[in-house]
C-alpha cells in the first residue's frame, strides 16, 4: 500500500507543481500557449497567484481520494493503426 505523507505532498507541491509551472512561465512561447489553452478550455485565465493558492490547498485526503477513485474505476484502452496484434484490455489487466 502506498502511503502519501504530508511531507511528501509539500515537497511535490513545491518542487514539481509550482517550480515547473513558474519555470515554464519564463518562456514566452510556453506562456502564450498556456494562456490560450486556459482561455479556450475554461473561458478564463488563472493567475499564477491563484494557481499557487490552488496547489497549496491540495491535501493528502485529496490525493488519497483520487488514487482510490482511479484504482476502483473501470479500465479503458484505445488503439490506433493496425489492430490485428493489439491485445484486449482484459489481457493487460
pLDDT of amino acid 74: 86
pLDDT of amino acid 40: 93
Residue 55: partners with Cβ closer than 8 Å, 6 or more residues away? 13, 17, 18
Please check whether residue 1 lies inside any domain of the structure. Answer: no
Structural domain including 27 reads: 6-92
Domain with residue 83: its CATH number is 3.30.830.10
pLDDT of amino acid 44: 92
Q: How many structural domains is the chain composed of? A: 1
SS3 54: helix
pLDDT tens, 15-72?
787 888 888 878 889 889 988 999 999 999 988 889 889 888 988 889 889 989 988 9
Quick one: what percent of the chain has pLDDT higher than 90? Answer: 11
Please check whether residue 21 lies inside any domain of the structure. Answer: yes
pTM (two decimals): 0.61
pLDDT tens, 61-81?
898 899 899 889 888 888 898
Instruction: Find the radius of gyration of the CA atoms of the chain.
Output: 18
Cell numbers for 72, please give them: 476502483
Average pLDDT value for the chain? 85
Residue 81 gets the label, from left (phi > 0), alpha (psi -120 to 50) or beta, of left
Please check whether residue 19 lies inside any domain of the structure. Answer: yes
Amino acid at each position: 500500500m502506498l502511503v502519501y505523507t504530508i511531507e511528501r505532498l509539500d515537497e511535490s507541491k513545491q518542487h514539481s507543481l509550482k517550480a515547473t509551472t513558474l519555470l515554464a512561465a519564463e518562456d514566452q512561447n510556453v506562456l502564450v500557449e498556456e494562456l490560450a489553452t486556459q482561455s479556450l478550455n475554461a473561458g478564463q485565465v488563472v493567475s499564477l497567484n491563484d494557481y499557487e493558492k490552488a496547489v497549496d490547498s491540495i491535501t493528502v485526503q485529496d490525493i488519497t481520494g483520487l488514487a482510490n477513485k482511479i484504482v476502483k474505476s473501470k479500465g479503458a484502452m484505445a488503439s490506433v493503426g493496425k489492430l490485428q496484434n493489439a491485445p484486449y484490455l482484459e489481457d493487460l489487466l
